[in-house]
Amino acid sequence: MTETATSTTTAKSAPKARATKAKAGPAGAGFPEFEAFAMPKMEVPAAFREATEKGIENAREAYAKVKTAAEDATDMMEDTFETSRQGVVEFNSKAVDAAKANTDAAFSFFKDIMSAKSVAEAIELQSTFAREQFEALSAQTKEMQELATKLGTEVSAPVKEAFEKSFKDMKLN
């Protein structure tokens, strides 16, 4: 009778021991400490370690270069857009000024032609107006062309500098 009680007590205590061991494990481990999931303890060859470290270093350098290039490209685009915006505002301002001057000249001409006393005076006013408008339009066109050329040069300058820097950096590497 004592043997039966002893074997029952041993059988009951064994599962508790296994459950306790299964719950114990390293902190943060996803699996309890089982032999099937244990990592084998082996030494990593030095050549493999060096190759891995070199690969990581190369990846870091490549990332730094790409990051720098992206930042430079972003800066270049911001400069280009700001220059374009300022140039377009200036160009539009000149166009509005030219339109205002032409409109004022037309109204002045109509006022003068309405007050003409003879056909000869009207023809003279018409000829004078046509000549003055031709000169004004020629000057305005030249001004707008110069402004557009200046704008194109200023907008392309950051892009040109970025390309020159990129080619210089490529030659150094």
In angstroms, the CA 54 to CA 51 distance is 5
The pLDDT score that the predictor gives to residue 73 is 82
In a domain, 136, yes or no: yes
In angstroms, the CA 56 to CA 155 distance is 39
Mean pLDDT, the chain, rounded, equals 80
CA 2 remoteness from chain centre? 84
In a domain, 139, yes or no: yes
Number of domains in the chain: 1
In a domain, 59, yes or no: no
Using the Cα atoms of residue 26, residue 29, residue 32 and residue 37 in order, give the sign of their dihedral. Answer: negative
Count of residues making up the chain: 173
In a domain, 8, yes or no: no
CB 69 within 8 A of CB 103: no
**Angle formed at CA 170 by CA 168 and CA 173, multiple of 5 degrees:** 110
Nearest by Cα to 83 from 132, 153, 6: 153
Model confidence pLDDT, tens digit, residues 112-136: 999 999 999 999 999 999 999 999 9
Q: Which amino acid is at 19?
A: A
In angstroms, the CA 88 to CA 79 distance is 14
In a domain, 16, yes or no: no
In a domain, 30, yes or no: no
Model confidence pLDDT, tens digit, residues 24-72: 444 445 556 666 666 667 777 788 888 888 999 999 998 998 888 888 8
In a domain, 102, yes or no: yes
Q: Which residues contact 26 (CB under 8 A, 6 or more apart)?
A: 33
For residue 5, give both structure tokens: 């009680």
In a domain, 57, yes or no: no
Which range marks the domain in which residue 84 is found? 80-172
